[in-house]
Structure 1
Amino acid sequence: MPGRRRCRRVGCQPSFTSFGPATAGNSEPEETILTVDEFEAVRLKDLEGLGQNECAALMEISQPTFHRLVVSARRKVADALTHGKTIRIEGGHYRV
């Protein structure tokens, strides 16, 4: 049985919550939902350049949990970029 889900700490709410391709015509692109905690994981690891242990400590989660978060986030971003989907940042189990 899984343990209690810990609340993940994020530095701040994202300034922008939706990114997507320029649309031509009436068709709306599909959406990919990136949670706020996944966004924070990518920000810390890829933008700030911190190590996984440092990132995990800042988010107050274990290193394996951080690794799963960043892998999930990167997969979603790659899918959206490859298939022309809109990325929307919302939800997740976090606190500021």
Structure 2
Amino acid sequence: MPRPQKCRWVKGEPDITYFKPMGVPMHSLEEVVLSVEELEAIRLKDLEGLEQEECADKMKISRPTFFRIIMSAREKVADALVNGKAIKVEGGNYRIYNEDNIEQHGHGCCHRHGQLNNKI
């Protein structure tokens, strides 16, 4: 039996949760689903430029777990870009923190499997 998944800490839920190729109708698009923690991994490593150890510390996970998350996220984004798919950000297993690393959502992990509020 596998261990229960540790909660991943993220800075916040994204304001924009859907990206699609321009000029392609929605009904003819395939989607790639990126979890909130996968987006956070991309933000920390590729946008903020942090080292993997720093990223893992911020998300309160091990370095090997961070590596698996970032590789999964990059593979999904590459698939969407190269193959003209939409990217939908939703779901995951995460807890939100603010800049002072103070928890913003009660105790326990926020299990998010449904849609986020889309602000397109």
TM-score over 0.5 for the pair: yes
User: Larger RCO: Structure 1 or Structure 2 (Cα < 8 Å, ≥ 6 residues apart)?
Assistant: 1
Matched pairs, number: 96
Residue 27 and residue 90 in structure 1: after superposition, are their counterparts in 2 closer, same or farther (change >3 A)?
A: closer
Instruction: State percent identity of aligned pairs.
Output: 54
Q: Secondary structure of 2:92's partner?
A: coil
What is the CA RMSD across the aligned residues, in angstroms?
Answer: 1.3
Do residues 77 (structure 1) and 77 (structure 2) align?
A: yes
Residue 82 and residue 4 in structure 1: after superposition, are their counterparts in 2 closer, same or farther (change >3 A)?
A: same
TM (norm. structure 2) is: 0.76
Q: Secondary structure of 2:65's partner?
A: helix
Structure with higher helix content: 1
Q: Which amino acid aligns with 2:11?
A: G
Q: Which amino acid aligns with 1:78?
A: A
Q: Which amino acid aligns with 1:89?
A: V
List structure 1 runs of 4+ shifted beyond 2 angstroms. Answer: 23-28
The residue that corresponds to 1:48 in the other structure is 48
